[in-house]
Structure 1
Amino acid sequence: MKKIAVFTSGGDAPGMNACIRSVVRSALHMGLDVYGIKYGYDGMIRGEIFKMDSFSVSMIVQTGGTILKSARSEEFRTKQGRQKAFENLQEHGIEGLVAIGGDGTFTGANIFYEQYGIPVVGCPGTIDNDLYGSDYTIGFDTAVNTALSAIDKIRDTAASHDRVFFIEVMGRHSGYIAIQCAIGGGAEEVMVPETSTTVEDVIDKLNQDRQNKKTSSIVVVAENGDQGSAQEIADKVKSHTKNLDIKVTNLGHIQRGGGPTAFDRTLASRLGLAAVEGLVNGEKNVMAGAIDNKITYTNLKLAISKSKPLNQELVRLTDILSK
């Protein structure tokens, strides 16, 4: 293998640039030519492919977002779109791909590999931490710390006005961001898709807190739970309680931006190197991850199809500490 390419796709995550940097410099260290593809699969279809050097990734390890840009591609879902992408890769002599992204990115990479056989190694770049095959995904730690910083500030306001705040955090269908924010932020309750906490449970907890002279509360809500959004849950609670000053904050896309933490920079750098080494060593259609702090390779099909359960020790800890 002499030529590889790297691209980012789907939602951006802090640490993607650190991963790009690692892929480029690791490839150059191993004597490979390395190309960047802008705008993910859309750029692959349009031929936005350019050669990268060590200088092209200078001063990016500390930045959020992705210098290669990102996009969601409807055209890549078609055979004609994938054919265009393949032809553009062939034109540049590219023999292997490093795909940095999440579930959707890897779904596309798996189909592309099965159709054309180009070796692909994925790096899990998503704040949701929902991919099987790695204890942590690139961007998750930064997202948690960003959300936690906001929750700390909201706590000040909640305490000053004796309010209950329902705070919605991201995670797609995973409660990892919510559970860690609940523990770190001292939340009185947390609602995640993986557990059966109901609106009635929240009402009982808030009433109990008031009986115990607790004057303010924080409830962390993961998006896409079966009880509804933070706003919907807050409205239900408000209609069944008295004398509670209830407010709602949706932290939204602030969680996806900002400079990555040291943990994310290191993880992204390790996985970028692992991706290049995997391609050189003959790995195909796999995701590079870290389990128990050791680099592993997991088949892309497994990474996107097998559920990653929420750590039950964290759930138990939240229940104990919120008393």
Structure 2
Amino acid sequence: MSKIKISVLDQSQIRRGSNAREALEESGKLIELAEQLGFVRYWVSEHHNFKLVAGTSPEVLIPYLASKTSRIRIGSGGIMLPNHSTLKVAENFGLLETLYPNRIDLGIGRAPGGDRLSAYLLNPTNTFSEKDFYQQLLDLQAFLRGESEPGSVQEKVSAFPQPEELPEMWMLTSSGGSAQFAAHLGMALSFAQFINPESGEDTAEFYRHNFKPSKELKEPKLNVGIFAFCSEDEQKVQDWITDFQYRILYIEMGGVGEFPSLEEIKNMHFSLQQKARMAFNHGRFIAGTPDVVKAELLKIADKYQTDEIMIATPAESWEDRKKSYELIAQMF
């Protein structure tokens, strides 16, 4: 596939020496850039109990970003549904779609977006069961559609406002398990290769083969998310890889202590276990000069048989982050 549509996943990561306000202000600049570059959609994530990420509430951040743009689709990547009241999610996104018609995506995840204790505090009734999650999905579709099957809770309670068009509903998956829900309920699917570099091709094939059309989506629709960094300066590429590889390890180790400088990371000695983990994590990102990055993006598009790739680019410099997205936009 030579023509690839690019979208953005923004986790509002906080750089060294910066703070949450600056990270969120940068999100405002980035979505304006994404619209200028002609990108398809812009998603923000839900994370909890992690000091390097400012994005805890997509439903709050989305209207701030939408107010800065006029065309690009904006949504959640995603709302971690077990953390929330299904009715409230339907109300929030019905309201967002009413305010910004035909521009809102409701990306839904099943992971806690943090640790189990945080998830419990967000929703003490959360059982982490597939059965309960599936019921939430059924209820969410019914609330958004304004349906009221006999004997259902929707006979007595409705979600308002009810928008003229529904938000696009996307199921997020990294393990592949949620692909069965997306296929059965006729939702779009987003595979997070930036979390799991394995099993994505099989997940995409399963989803397409088992997809059942819904009122909103007649054919399967899939995109894939990846971390990526592009620069014409090969030293910047190598520095980004060094910094980013440690950032992933830091997150996996629980984010204890201050995040070290790049020079400190370069002088570190890693255990065999850490080196093995870094080798695995290499499949979660693409980094290189424009020719290298374009070739790798085309491989991903062919592997998943998709024309849309969602790119997350954390960087310690706004100018480097901006330039990376500009270079990628020029590729397609």
TM-score past 0.5 threshold: no
Q: TM-score, normalised by structure 1?
A: 0.26
Which has the higher relative contact order, 1 or 2, with Cα contacts under 8 A spaced 6 or more apart?
Answer: 1
TM-score (norm: length of structure 2): 0.26
